């Protein structure tokens, strides 16, 4: 099938660009002799996760227990859930998965560990956990050294919880005003993460894993400090407008949304058949990842989606309006690809103008 024969809107993935992205990040990890554990919440496709492992990834990262279940069902057997998992139901699911795969997950409180100890009390395997360290994103994770020391001490005395390592996410690098600031934020995050690793060692815990990750700094060769063992990075495989802005080109963007021009009601307005339900309304307001509009029209310089309704994209550009015809199909590169993948049942892998594979997005909607 030719791309232009596809019904719209639909998600396209350029095979050659994607594979180049996969290989490039694996070479980066190999250069610094660290493991690569891609965050598959970006694409939510076991088929792509397997490609990442085939190229050299140690295992994969997911965001939710439901994603872990689907990935395990489809042959992925080394999974880290980079999130605090709370609740007996979810913890029981992890306990069951641990019978057949290597699975670990995040913690950042004694209260959470008490729940884990209870649920795993009848398990032959200990729960494998990593403590999250807050490094500047102002999200979850340990902030105070005293809290970290107490948590490590608590886990050391648990019968059913094992401290595998620590992890951090320098997501605030997305908002860096320039690459110099991005480098500083990234290095500061590594230094802080390594400091907590040393604190754990001082308490008698030799950590197997010290994991970091965020796409913007890892698209540039800022280096990896000694003591870091693992990179968790997600968006690099498909890229998007925000990441393209961070590196100064959209040529690495493998994913796009194919959409059809359905109306040209004024001399400058164009309407296509994808809206918020296929693009989201996400933007990034500042820093190296700052976006313009709600998506970039591929192959048309400085043409962006200006507005979206549920099922309509609105573009105001007279030159674009005079170039395209009713019924013509164009591609939109999303501002943020991760939530966009979650909106589609499948992604079409393309090469040139041919569709080469229809890949189901099996983790779509796995939000629990």
* CATH assignment of the domain containing 48: 3.20.20.10
Residues 192 and 247 in one domain: no
| Secondary element (H or E) of residue 272 | strand 269-272
What is the structure's pLDDT at 167?
A: 98
pLDDT reported for residue 182: 98
Same domain, 231 and 276: no
Alpha-helical segments (H) within 32-64: 46-55
pLDDT category, 144, cuts 50, 70, 90? very high
* pLDDT at 170 (0 to 100): 97
Confidence of residue 68 (pLDDT cuts 50, 70, 90): very high
DSSP state of 171: G
Shared domain check, 309 and 198: no
248 and 205, same domain (yes or no): no
Model confidence at 239, in pLDDT bands (50, 70, 90)? very high
**Looking at the DSSP assignment, which residues form a beta bridge with residue 350?**
14, 355
Q: List pLDDT tens digits, range 94-114.
A: 999 999 999 999 999 999 999
Q: Does a structural domain hold residue 23?
A: yes
Count of structural domains, the chain: 2
Residues 167 and 37 in one domain: yes
Provide the terminal-to-terminal Cα distance of the chain, rounded to the nearest Å. Answer: 36
Say which CATH number the domain at 325 has: 2.40.37.20
- End residue of a domain, out of 191, 211, 237: 237
- Last residue in a domain, options 215, 237, 259: 237
* Token pair of 74 as six digits: 């489809």
Query: Mean pLDDT throughout 340-354?
Result: 98
Task: With cut-offs at 50, 70 and 90, classify the pLDDT of residue 235.
Answer: very high
Backbone region of residue 267 per phi and psi (left: phi > 0; alpha: psi in -120 to 50; beta: other values): alpha
Q: What is the token pair recorded at 178?
A: 């320039």
The answer on 328 and 223 residing in a single domain is no
Q: What angle do CA 23, 26, 27 make, to 5 degrees?
A: 85
pTM exceeding the 0.95 threshold for the entire prediction: yes
**365 in a structural domain:** no
Mean pLDDT of the 336-350 span: 98
Domain that holds residue 309: 3-10+242-360
Query: Residue 367 falls within a domain, yes or no?
Result: no
Compute the mean pLDDT over every residue in the chain, rounded to the nearest whole number: 98
Q: Which of 261, 280, 272 is nearest to 312 (CA)?
A: 272
Question: The tokens of 59 are what?
Answer: 């295992």
- Residue 286: per-residue pLDDT: 93
Residues of the chain above pLDDT 90, percent = 100
Q: Are residues 255 and 298 in the same domain?
A: yes
């Amino acid at each position: 099938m030719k791309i232009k024969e596809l019904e719209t809107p639909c998600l396209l993935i350029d095979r050659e660009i994607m594979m180049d992205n996969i290989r490039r990040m694996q070479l980066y990890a190999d250069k610094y002799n660290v493991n690569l554990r891609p965050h598959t919440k970006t694409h939510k496709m076991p088929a792509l996760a397997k490609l990442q492992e085939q190229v050299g990834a140690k295992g994969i990262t997911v965001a939710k227990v439901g994603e872990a279940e689907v990935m395990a069902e489809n042959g992925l057997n080394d999974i880290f859930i980079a999130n605090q998992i709370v609740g007996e139901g979810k913890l029981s699911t992890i306990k069951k998965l641990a019978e057949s795969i290597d699975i670990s997950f995040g913690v950042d409180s004694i209260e959470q560990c008490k729940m884990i100890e209870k649920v795993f009390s009848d398990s032959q395997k200990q729960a494998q956990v990593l403590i999250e360290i807050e490094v500047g994103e102002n999200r979850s994770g340990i902030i105070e050294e005293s809290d970290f020391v107490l948590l490590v001490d608590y886990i050391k005395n648990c019968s059913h919880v094992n401290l595998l390592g620590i992890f951090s996410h320098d997501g605030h690098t997305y908002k860096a005003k320039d690459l110099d600031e991005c480098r500083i934020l990234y290095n500061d995050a590594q230094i802080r993460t390594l400091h907590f690793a040393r604190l754990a060692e001082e308490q008698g815990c030799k950590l197997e894993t010290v994991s970091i990750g965020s796409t913007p700094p890892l698209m540039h060769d800022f280096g990896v400090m000694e003591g870091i063992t693992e990179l968790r990075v997600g968006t690099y495989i498909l890229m998007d407008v925000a990441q393209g802005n961070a590196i100064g080109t959209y040529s690495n963007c493998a994913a796009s949304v194919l959409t059809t021009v359905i109306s040209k009601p004024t001399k400058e307005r164009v309407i296509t058949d994808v809206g918020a339900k296929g693009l989201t309304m996400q933007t990034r307001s500042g820093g190296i990842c700052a976006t313009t509009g709600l998506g970039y029209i591929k192959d048309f310089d400085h043409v962006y989606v200006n507005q979206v309704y549920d099922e309509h994209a609105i573009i105001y550009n007279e030159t674009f309006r005079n170039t395209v015809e009713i019924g013509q199909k164009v591609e939109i590169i999303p501002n943020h690809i991760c939530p966009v993948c979650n909106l589609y049942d499948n992604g079409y892998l393309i090469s040139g103008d041919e569709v080469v594979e229809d890949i189901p997005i099996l983790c779509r909607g796995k939000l629990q």
